[in-house]
């Protein structure tokens, strides 16, 4: 069995690159899964694509069926129409236990920009569910992602990573927003998009006593639902420019594949708002606001995902001990998971080998007993027990070695050798 992941994230690649290789919609993901099945029919696949990371997990029953790092990079290149040389060095690869450890770190938010943030857990779960709907996953990725949810829960219950400001929304508003505004109770907040991140941001802003909430979304129903939940006012998407001019704070999480607001459009909006300070938090990936929007005038404060890095790193340094505890849990869970995987891989081979040898011994004894028909039943039973002990003793060293190898690490080499030596077929 084989596991691998290729990925880029906020630590390895700039937002501009992550935007280009992201899978922004479920329709796009469905097409990606169809293409992956066509290219790598012997593989299971799960894609995790968020504002901070793009990751492709694959699994195979046989190591020789695994696509190479270059094969998977070519998939990204051809699917997104991006020259391979522009991102190959930023697309990293992990295999085996390292791939398992990586997912456990992601799901536990150890690898997140905001340490301990809760949103990544649901994002990983949603990615797994999307792969399931597309029938892209399989037994090994099922076990991996289900275990990742368990590991995440254990880290959250046994450490203090979740204490304090831990979500992207709370850090963004608490750190950046409060550097611009002393208070929010007299401010109008505009939410673009109505997904989970928008809802989380609204919860935090409500705790800050925000004055007025506007919600704009291409789906009137989703805008209405969010507005009703938080006491806001839904606005038609067609009135976006008026909403932008009215807002003091804008939080954008639309999931659009292209910028929703470019510099020229926003410059027109600013002429209507008389240049008062405006705080824009662009949490979309790809970005919803073109970078030039922040340069329209000195009172436009535009922040995107990459701008959170310094603040998040400060939180990370303050939680070193909790990180160490979390890493210890993840190491323990990684070892357990790999032992389970290797046990499942070696179990059928051990069973087949035992069955084969005992079948041969029984056939030989039957031929022997036909020649020695004068033997009493008691003598036959003694011979059968002796032969069975001989077979078990001969099998014990190779099978014990195989079990030890499975506990210590990958047993693939021994498995292949046993298959060839004893002509065991899958």
Residues 113 and 187 reside in one and the same domain? no
Residue 323 in domain:
no
Among 51, 130, 243, 312, the active-site one is: 51
Q: Within the chain, what is the greatest distance between any pair of CA atoms?
A: 112
pLDDT digits (tens, 9 = 90+) for 77-122: 999 999 999 999 999 999 999 999 999 999 998 888 777 777 889 9
Residue 243 catalytic? no
Domain with 393 in it: 340-421
Residue 229 in domain:
yes
Percent with pLDDT over 90 in the chain: 41
Residue 328 in domain:
no
- Give the per-residue pLDDT at 79: 96
Was 55 annotated as part of a binding site?
no
Q: Apex CA 82: angle with CA 77 and CA 87, to 5°?
A: 75
* Among candidate residues 270, 253, 273, the one with its CA nearest the CA of residue 262: 270
- Give the per-residue pLDDT at 406: 63
Residue 31 in domain:
yes
Residues 140 and 173 reside in one and the same domain? no
Residues 244 and 388 reside in one and the same domain? no
Domain endpoint, select from 314, 331, 357: 314
Question: Which range is most confident: 1-15, 144-158, 184-198, 298-312?
Answer: 144-158
Residue 330 in domain:
no
In this predicted structure, the answer to whether residue 411 has a pLDDT above a threshold of 60 is no
Percent with pLDDT over 70 in the chain: 91
The CATH number of residue 8's host domain is: 3.30.460.30
Residues 236 and 360 reside in one and the same domain? no
- Grade residue 255 by pLDDT with cuts at 50, 70 and 90: confident
Residues 123 and 180 reside in one and the same domain? no
- Give the per-residue pLDDT at 220: 87
Residue by residue, DSSP assigns 46-98 as: EEEE-SSEEEEEEEESSGGGPPPHHHHHHHHHHHHT--GGGTGGG-EEEETHH
Was 96 annotated as part of a binding site?
no
Was 365 annotated as part of a binding site?
no
Was 119 annotated as part of a binding site?
yes
Was 149 annotated as part of a binding site?
no
Residues 295 and 360 reside in one and the same domain? no
CB neighbours of residue 111 within 10 Å: 19
The CATH number of residue 310's host domain is: 3.40.50.720
Was 50 annotated as part of a binding site?
yes
Was 218 annotated as part of a binding site?
no
Q: Between 409 and 287, where is the model more confident? A: 287
Residues 96 and 126 reside in one and the same domain? yes
Residue 332 in domain:
no
User: In the predicted model, what is the mean pLDDT of residues 387-405?
Assistant: 79
Q: How many domains does the chain have?
A: 3
- Grade residue 424 by pLDDT with cuts at 50, 70 and 90: low
Phi, psi (5° rounding) for residue 172?
-60, -50
pLDDT digits (tens, 9 = 90+) for 190-211: 999 866 777 777 788 888 888 8
- Give the per-residue pLDDT at 83: 95
Residues 153 and 6 reside in one and the same domain? yes
Was 60 annotated as part of a binding site?
no
């Amino acid at each position: 069995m084989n596991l691998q992941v290729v990925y880029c994230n906020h630590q390895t690649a700039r937002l501009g690159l992550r935007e280009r290789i992201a899978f922004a919609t479920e329709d796009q993901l469905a097409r990606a899964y169809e293409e992956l099945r066509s290219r790598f029919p012997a593989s299971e696949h799960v894609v995790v694509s968020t504002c901070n990371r793009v990751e492709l997990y694959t699994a195979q029953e046989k190591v020789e069926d695994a696509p190479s790092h270059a094969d998977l990079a070519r998939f990204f290149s051809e699917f997104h129409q991006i020259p391979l040389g522009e991102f190959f060095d930023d697309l990293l690869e992990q295999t085996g236990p390292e791939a398992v450890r990586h997912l456990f770190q992601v799901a536990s938010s150890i690898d997140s920009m905001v340490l301990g943030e809760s949103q990544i857990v649901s994002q990983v779960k949603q990615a797994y569910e999307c792969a399931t709907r597309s029938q892209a996953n399989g037994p090994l990725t099922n076990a991996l992602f289900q275990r990742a949810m368990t590991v995440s829960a254990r880290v959250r219950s046994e450490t203090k990573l979740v204490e304090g400001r831990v979500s992207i929304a709370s850090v963004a508003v608490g750190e950046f927003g409060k550097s611009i505004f002393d208070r929010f109770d007299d401010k109008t907040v505009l939410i673009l998009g109505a997904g989970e991140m928008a809802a989380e941001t609204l919860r935090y802003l409500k705790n800050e006593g925000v004055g007025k909430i506007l919600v704009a979304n291409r789906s009137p129903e989703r805008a209405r639902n969010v507005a009703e939940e938080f006491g806001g006012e839904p606005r038609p998407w067609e009135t976006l420019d008026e909403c932008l001019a009215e807002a003091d704070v804008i939080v954008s999480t639309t999931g659009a594949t292209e910028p929703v607001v470019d510099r020229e459009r926003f410059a027109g909006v600013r002429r209507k708002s008389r240049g008062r300070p405006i705080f824009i938090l662009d949490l979309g990936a790809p970005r919803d606001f073109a970078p030039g929007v922040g340069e329209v005038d000195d009172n436009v404060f535009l922040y995107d995902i990459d701008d959170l890095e310094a603040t998040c790193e400060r939180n990370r340094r303050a939680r070193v001990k909790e990180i160490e505890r979390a890493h210890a849990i993840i190491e323990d869970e990684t070892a357990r998971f790999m032992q389970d995987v290797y046990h499942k891989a070696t179990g059928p081979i051990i069973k087949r080998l035992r069955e084969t040898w005992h079948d041969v011994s029984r056939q030989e004894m039957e031929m022997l007993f036909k020649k020695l028909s004068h033997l009493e039943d008691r003598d036959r039973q003694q011979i059968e027990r002796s032969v069975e002990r001989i077979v078990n003793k001969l099998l014990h060293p190779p099978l014990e070695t195989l079990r030890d190898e499975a506990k210590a690490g990958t047993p693939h080499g021994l498995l292949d050798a046993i298959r060839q030596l004893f002509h065991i077929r899958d």
